[in-house]
Structure formats: structure tokens, C-alpha cells
Amino acid sequence: MTYFREIVLSLWVLSQTTAAYSRALTPLQNAAKAFILPLKASEPSDNPASRAKIELGKQLFFDPRLSKDGTVSCNSCHNVMASGSDNRAVSVGINGQRGGRSAPTVFNAAFLSVQFWDGRAATLEDQAKGPLVNPIEMGMPSHDAVVARLREIDGYSDQFQKVFGGKDPVTIDNLAKAVAVYERTLITPNSAFDRWARGDGGALSASAQRGFSKMNEIGCTSCHSGGGFSGPALPTGTGFYQKFPTFAENDYVKKYDFLGDEGRKNVTKNEADAHMFRVPTLRNVAMTAPYFHNGSVGSLQEAIRVMAKTQLNKNLTTDEVNDIYNLLVSLTGTIPEQTMPKLSQTLGTTVTPQ
């Protein structure tokens, strides 16, 4: 009975604490509720998660043998042991080739309604197929070549059979499904901002609170809204885009070569889409320098000044920049613990060209 009373007392204390937080919420905290990061991403009906599928996807994510010369994996550009990106201005693929854009973080990508800077992939499953056959990135000549490579690696056929079943389970679609299921586990909850928005008044510094207020005041959150600070929740495949730069008559645009990439126009060939980009998440943004689609800005403080001028035509004071900086740092969540997977081996031979 004593143990039972202790449990009841603990639950009562928790309920009273929660109620006290609710009563004590400031108007700014109430506004912040709309920005709380969900704890779990939704999954498509045709690709439900399972422990075995997540493990297979993780192995594929880390396996460099899925690249032409065996040197580049998904993790090479989206390092889940660190920031979910590679912290380079532009990523490096096979043969040391450099791409034209900075790699977005894979953390919380599951909450985006489209993938890539230009939104050319509707889902994580679609996105997983692209880099494999990009000649600059992983460089495989075709998806059929990727499947053939997989079938040469002892152990993968058995794993695909156990996860997907069927007569011929080793397919490019099943590879993409496995990788996407793993990526949907890469959620970073419990940031200082989230704790504050849920009612913990001491979780966020006064400076960060001023930063959130300033972002609302000047219009940053008209684009960087929702749980990912990346725009409203939209149907899968419907991107949330913004022209960048919106105001081009300033020194930043030329200095950082912001007009060198036409963004979504490269996909649609529509002049109206020139310099339109998917609004990126601000979650964990303090970890993902350098910034912007071309990785041209090295510091977060400078990125704040650039955004204010190029998107809102505003010049911020040093104090305002520092407050917004502290707010953005507060969006750093708990990185899910990662362990290196054990990859299936080929005995007495190699699958990569010599």
C-alpha cells in the first residue's frame, strides 16, 4: 500500500506541476506552442516501419559500396554522428567531385513535404534514389546497377527477403523504403525552445525569448513556421517555397553569389520559379554551418543579418542579431543516439571496381 500511495502522490505532483505550467504560460509561450516539434513523424501506408526494416535502412545509409567506387555513402554527406549534414559549403562525391549545393541536414527531414533545395523529390523514398545515380555524388550508372551490386553482397538478399518478402525483394524501391524508414527515426526533440513552449519558463533565456519575439515581429516566422520552423504542414509532394533573394539590391547578393543558382526553375523550367527554394528548417541550425543553398555564409550571426536584409529588407542591430542567434541555438534538440551498423561482407572478393 505504501508503494501504491507513493505512485499516486507522484502522479498528483506531476499533474499539479503541469497545471501550474499551463496557468503560468505567457502570451509568447502560448504563441510558441504552434512551433513545438512533434515526437514522431507520420509514415506512408505502403511503408510501415519495423525494427528489421529500420536496421536494414541504417546499413544501406552507411554503406559506401552503393557508390560507383565504394567511397561515398549517404552518411558521407548527411553525417548522423554529428549534424546530419557534412558542414561543407558543397558536398564531395566520387573522385573528389564537388556538387553545386550545400547538403541539408537529414535530421527532421521526415517533417518536410518535399525534399532537396528545389523540392524535386516528393518523399524521403524518392529522395533516397537520387544521389545513387547522380554522376557527381554516388555515381552508379543506373538503379539496375545498384540492385546488381546489392545482390553481390552476402547477407543483403536474406535481409531484404525477411523484411519485404516476395519472389524478388531486392529492388530499388525496397532499398529506398528501407532508407526512408531509418531516416524517419532521425528526430531531434526536447530542445530548450520546446521545453519552454510546453511550459518550462526557465528553459529559455531572456535573450532567446526576445529573439523569438523579434522573429515574429519582423516576419521571419511567416516562412519559418510550424514544428520544423520550415513552413506549414502541407500534403506530401506540395512544397513550401520562397524566392531567395527577395530583395536583391544589396551588397550581400553579389558578395555571396546568391543569383548563381535559379533554384526550382531548374526543375520546372518555369520562369516564375526562378530563385525559388524550399524553405529550410531552422531546427539544429546552429550545428549546420555553412549556410544557404550554396554554403557561402560561414557564421550563423552573418546568416541572420543576410536573411533580414535579403528577405525582409531590414537592418538588424547587434543586440537583435544576438537575440535571434540565441533563439536559434535553443532549437538544438536531442540527437538520437547512433551506433555504427555492422555491414554484410563479401568473402574472398570485392564488389567495387579496382
Q: Where in the sequence numbering do the catalytic residues fall?
A: 137
Q: Is 192 in a helix, a strand, or coil? A: helix
For 92, the 3-state DSSP assignment is strand
Give the DSSP H or E segment for 278.
strand 276-278
Phi, psi of 297 (to 5 degrees): -110, 120
Under DSSP, the state recorded for 154 is: T
Q: What share of the chain is helix, strand, coil (3-state, %, to 5)?
A: 45, 5, 50
Angle at 70 between CA 65 and CA 71, to 5 degrees: 120
Give pairs for 49-54: CB < 8 Å, separation 24+: 49/181, 49/184, 49/185, 50/163, 50/181, 52/159, 52/162, 52/163, 53/163, 53/177, 53/178, 53/181, 53/182, 54/178, 54/181, 54/182, 54/185
Task: Measure Cα distances from 181 to 4, 65, 280 in Å.
Answer: 40, 20, 21
d(CA 87, CA 55): 26
For the beta carbon of residue 321, count every other beta carbon within 10 angstroms.
Answer: 19
Give the 3-state secondary structure of residue 79: coil
> CB under 8 Å to 325, separation ≥6 — which residues?
211, 300, 301, 304
Instruction: List the one residue out of 312, 296, 118, 107 whose CA is nearest residue 224.
Output: 312
